[in-house]
Structure 1
């Protein structure tokens, strides 16, 4: 069977791991239905690195005729008023995710809380490409080194403690080998984060955000960032990300396998240990490519064995599809250059 056409009867209780392409002809508003369908294919026994899920965005006139979305929003708002729940349905973020889902944007169904430290250049390029031509011209007209300051975004929800987003400084640094990093410290010079994606998201703001005067200790805090980066050799590769990041999980999984081989050697241990040392060094020093991150994460969720995981990672390393690597041009100490800095202050303080 090459093509199987069915209703939602296949969405539950069926094992279709021999397939790797799912085509949705309808428009289920409950995203869980799409996840269930993909789950029939993305399961133990699946040999493909990538599962393709295609969905059809309805014609523009369909919503105007049936007004399904409008009626759903109205009904949910009524439910919210009656029950008193503080949940938000079909807000701006939900609408964006729904559109991304049907336009096949990669990562739409990924865990929002996962902090995956991807290539900083890729993150910046996405922002640059989404900027208007006027904003791009204004950015290009800035002086070589910018020390800007803006107000912190105030989050009044009780679940956010003041220490979650403290005032301080973010420094954007570049090493002699061309790699970039972000370091964030608080007003006392304590390290807040070295997670590229977390810092990048925390400093995001629209172009019209007003600039404020620098704090008196701004440059001292920038110097502290440089010192931290120099002491810890905080290259993008030296940052494995959060405990849930694919990169950290992969490094810890392979490092555990290495310790296991050392404790219980076998006939092939010597060759495998050499492979492990090489790939662990790569993963520690350089961020994973998006394609590698997605493929490896999928296989780890499917329960891939340690030896097969090593083969997968080693093959990608040999093909040059594992990590985003910058060529090392010198062996001089990796003292970073300051590209720019951003002060974060409490509004009015």
Structure 2
């Protein structure tokens, strides 16, 4: 039995590969390397002692997906991370996002539906809730109209999986992430954005290391404690472990429905300024930042109600915001050292 991890060399995918191998799973990592690096495989090997099987495949290519499943006919489960994920880019190039994020999902499900039993974990997002009316956000909160093509692909992806699971022998768990941050404690793998970071924490660490002149804080007039937007920041290692627990739930037939949905967060919201202050504390660095106008599409606050995941999955976060920021800073410093030519 093998587990296929698509987008396996990405930020969350790579940490999940480590968690899976640590629990004894044999994994196949698939990635098209459009937003990742082969060096991630070496980092995973240094952590676990085992280099995952790897296939450089474009999942938008239907025949390539078919060949993959013929080559590995004992795939029992799929954890599907592979997707384009930049909100702004999705607004500018919506067809790219619909093609990449939906076609890859459809082609995977077409292969899985031919198996007598298959297990599917979908990388979804709290973006499906939009600006929820109540905090913390439960899994029953209404799905809002998507604010971007990226967010829409997550909503449509969930609907596709639900429809297929009604008529095919596919069991699925949809994991709605809040804001993953941090890096593995070894600093062998971490978040590696190409170009200008779209997320807060890599922009913080790149500013602190000197790659960016200053950090822009988008808005200080939100109705929050300090006026800055509030998010639920979850350590990527905790997030990765949740995928293993969800997979085991399906493999052991513990799921109560064909498709289950779980929020993955800490249950606590932190403002942008609180994250900056926490980073300055753990890194002993003074961060250069400025307050600028709000960014279009940003919501005021979002943090998870975690009782369902805590109770049914038996999973909860173990690492703090400070742990995550400290690991992200350690990773950033290692990247800086690796760029320097040998003396």
TM-score when normalising by structure 2: 0.22
Q: Which has the higher strand share?
A: 2
Greater radius of gyration (CA): 1
User: TM-score under structure 1 normalisation?
Assistant: 0.22
Higher RCO, 1 or 2 (CA under 8 Å, sep at least 6)? 1
